[in-house]
């Protein structure tokens, strides 16, 4: 249905972002919490409109922007992501010298980019959304202006990101040349009819996948990930590890699912390449993670490995399990980062494994929730991480991707080692020095408990969410 309602959520977020930028410029307050509250209010309003649009299939701009159930579901989990990130940022930005109002503004702008990406079927619009997201992300990564690591993260992210964008744009250009369209549906139609320009279109699609491979951080396009994650402000790292990754998978789902399903012969090459990438990603991500001692780098490599598992879901063409995995992943990863952020005080973050010795007894809540998130990341029942992996792997087995599943299981066995090592440090090592932290951080504890709830709810009673997800993915059929 053509309706202005399709545009409203996006407008709200963009308006909120601009609003905050102006407020920040005129009200020069030292405490920026009020900006966070304003953002949250706008998020809630936006969420309200999203929920209202469920099952309505609004679209606008001749169908170039639409809110089908899949876009709505993704938009909603991005709202939740941003909400959680704002909550963990509030204390952090004043403690760690990122105390600037643009922070929230840029975060909302990045969110608007993600909303654009999931609610369009046109490659050009998706590209524009991606750039809105990326350019805000580059600035967010460098917001700790006094910290050299932060600037380094920003420049690495920026240059390599532009480099990948160039591949993406060139891919779109080739697809356009082969099909004279940038609309996903008509491109797929074109593939199906099997024109002579098939090779150009195939390379175009390949370059498109490479461009997005950078965003979702799969091997060998992942090299930026650990450095950027380490250098960026930690809440922003939490955001990077879930937001751009989830949105990248959402777009890949929209493009690759119909492609792999409908185009039989020429899709074999892409399919095989994706299998290889998936294996490389799982193996390399987990192996390097074994060697890390910095928590942010461990989680960075873990997020690379998770991209590999998620790729299996794309290959198994089980959309519901992919979306479920992403949902669980958001909660467990943000939860883990929240626990990492909790260990900090004025101008000091505790990020080394050594710092975590004995934390489990000194700060039982942080230790316990962090352990749950780590167990979930490792895939232990009864957490959501277990069910997510279980669904993905069983879908892959149904599609006869048994070798991929075996490698996936072995890779997650390796991952158990470094996740458990953190728990071992927290509970079984004697601390050799004092780690005192600023415990007065209600927003962060709220996030810890929300994520704990999310991980356990999805692990023990996933029924309702699965029903929603099943409704959402019907948009693809």
Minimum Å gap between C-beta 309 and another protein is 17
Minimum Å gap between C-beta 441 and another protein is 23
Rounded to whole angstroms, how far apart are CA atoms 342 and 367? 10
Minimum Å gap between C-beta 132 and another protein is 9
List helix spans (H) across 62-122.
69-95, 102-118
Q: For residue 430, count CB atoms less than 10 angstroms from its CB and return exposed for 0-12, middle for 13-18, buried for 19 or more.
A: exposed
Minimum Å gap between C-beta 321 and another protein is 10
3-state class of 317 per DSSP?
coil
Q: Which is nearer to another protein, 440 or 463 (CB)?
A: 463
Q: Which is nearer to another protein, 41 or 467 (CB)?
A: 467
Q: Which is nearer to another protein, 120 or 165 (CB)?
A: 165
Minimum Å gap between C-beta 396 and another protein is 12
Residue 132, CA distances (Å) to 14, 108, 183, 222 in order: 11, 11, 20, 21
Rounded to whole angstroms, how far apart are CA atoms 144 and 389? 36
Minimum Å gap between C-beta 302 and another protein is 13
How far from each other are the two terminal CA atoms of the chain, in whole angstroms? 18
Q: Which is nearer to another protein, 31 or 264 (CB)?
A: 264
8 A C-beta contact, residue 359 and residue 277: no
Q: Which is nearer to another protein, 289 or 444 (CB)?
A: 289
- Could you tell me the two tokens for 71? 């876009």
Minimum Å gap between C-beta 297 and another protein is 8
Q: Which is nearer to another protein, 45 or 197 (CB)?
A: 197
Rounded to whole angstroms, how far apart are CA atoms 249 and 268? 20
Q: Which is nearer to another protein, 57 or 227 (CB)?
A: 227
Rounded to whole angstroms, how far apart are CA atoms 53 and 212? 28
Minimum Å gap between C-beta 275 and another protein is 12
Nearest of 260, 10, 286 to residue 132 by alpha carbon: 10
Minimum Å gap between C-beta 147 and another protein is 9
Q: Which is nearer to another protein, 43 or 313 (CB)?
A: 313
- Could you tell me the two tokens for 169? 């744009």
Nearest of 72, 143, 61 to residue 102 by alpha carbon: 143
DSSP one-letter string for 166-227: HHHHHHHHHHHHHHS--BHHHHHHHHHHT-TTHHHHHHHHHHHHHHHHHHHT-TTS-THHHH
Q: Give 345's contacts (C-beta < 8 A, 6+ positions apart).
A: 95, 436, 437, 438
Q: Which is nearer to another protein, 308 or 358 (CB)?
A: 308
Minimum Å gap between C-beta 354 and another protein is 17
Q: Which is nearer to another protein, 1 or 185 (CB)?
A: 185
Task: Give all strands (DSSP E) within 342-432, no chain letters.
Answer: 344-345, 348-349
Rounded to whole angstroms, how far apart are CA atoms 286 and 301? 7
Q: Which is nearer to another protein, 41 or 177 (CB)?
A: 177
8 A C-beta contact, residue 245 and residue 281: no
Minimum Å gap between C-beta 214 and another protein is 7
């Amino acid at each position: 249905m053509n309706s202005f309602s399709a545009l409203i959520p996006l407008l709200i977020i963009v308006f909120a972002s601009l609003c905050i930028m102006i407020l920040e410029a005129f009200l020069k307050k030292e405490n920026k919490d009020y900006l966070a509250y304003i953002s949250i209010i706008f998020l809630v309003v936006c969420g309200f409109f999203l929920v209202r649009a469920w099952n309505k299939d609004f679209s606008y701009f001749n169908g170039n922007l639409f809110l089908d159930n899949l876009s709505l579901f993704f938009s909603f989990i991005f709202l939740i992501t941003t909400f959680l990130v704002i909550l963990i940022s509030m204390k952090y930005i004043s403690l760690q010298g990122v105390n600037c109002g643009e922070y929230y503004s840029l975060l909302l702008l990045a969110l608007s980019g993600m909303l654009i990406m999931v609610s369009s079927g046109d490659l050009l619009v998706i590209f524009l959304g991606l750039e809105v997201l990326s350019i805000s992300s580059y600035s967010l990564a460098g917001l700790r202006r006094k910290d050299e690591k932060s600037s380094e993260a920003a420049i690495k992210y920026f240059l390599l990101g532009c480099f990948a964008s160039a591949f993406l744009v060139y891919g779109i250009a080739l697809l356009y040349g082969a099909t004279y369209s940038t609309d996903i549906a008509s491109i797929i139609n074109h593939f199906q009819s099997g024109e002579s320009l098939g090779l150009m279109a195939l390379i175009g699609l390949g370059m498109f996948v490479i461009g997005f491979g950078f965003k979702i951080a799969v091997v060998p396009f992942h090299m930026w990930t650990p450095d950027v994650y380490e250098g960026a402000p930690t809440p922003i790292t939490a955001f990077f590890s879930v937001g751009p990754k989830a949105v990248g998978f959402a777009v890949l789902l929209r493009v690759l699912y119909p492609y792999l399903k409908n185009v039989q012969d020429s899709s074999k090459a892409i399919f095989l390449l994706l299998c290889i990438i998936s294996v490389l990603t799982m193996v390399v991500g987990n192996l390097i993670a074994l060697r890390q001692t910095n928590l942010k780098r461990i989680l960075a490599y873990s997020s690379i490995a998770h991209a590999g598992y998620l790729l299996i879901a794309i290959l198994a063409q089980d959309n519901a399990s992919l979306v479920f995995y992403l949902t669980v992943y958001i909660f467990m990863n943000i939860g883990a980062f929240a626990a990492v952020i909790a260990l900090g005080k004025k101008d000091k973050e505790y990020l080394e494994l050594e710092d975590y010795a004995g934390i489990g007894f000194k700060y039982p809540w942080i230790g316990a929730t962090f352990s749950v998130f780590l167990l979930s990341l490792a895939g232990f029942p009864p957490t959501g991480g277990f069910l997510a992996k279980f669904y993905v792997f069983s879908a892959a087995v149904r599609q006869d991707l048994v070798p991929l599943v075996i490698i996936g299981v072995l890779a997650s066995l390796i991952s158990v080692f470094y996740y458990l090592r953190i728990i071992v440090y927290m509970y079984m090592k004697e601390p050799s020095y004092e780690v005192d932290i600023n415990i007065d951080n209600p927003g962060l504890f709220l996030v810890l408990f929300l994520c704990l709830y999310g991980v356990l709810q999805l692990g023990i009673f996933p029924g309702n969410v699965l029903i929603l997800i099943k409704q959402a993915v019907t948009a693809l059929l």
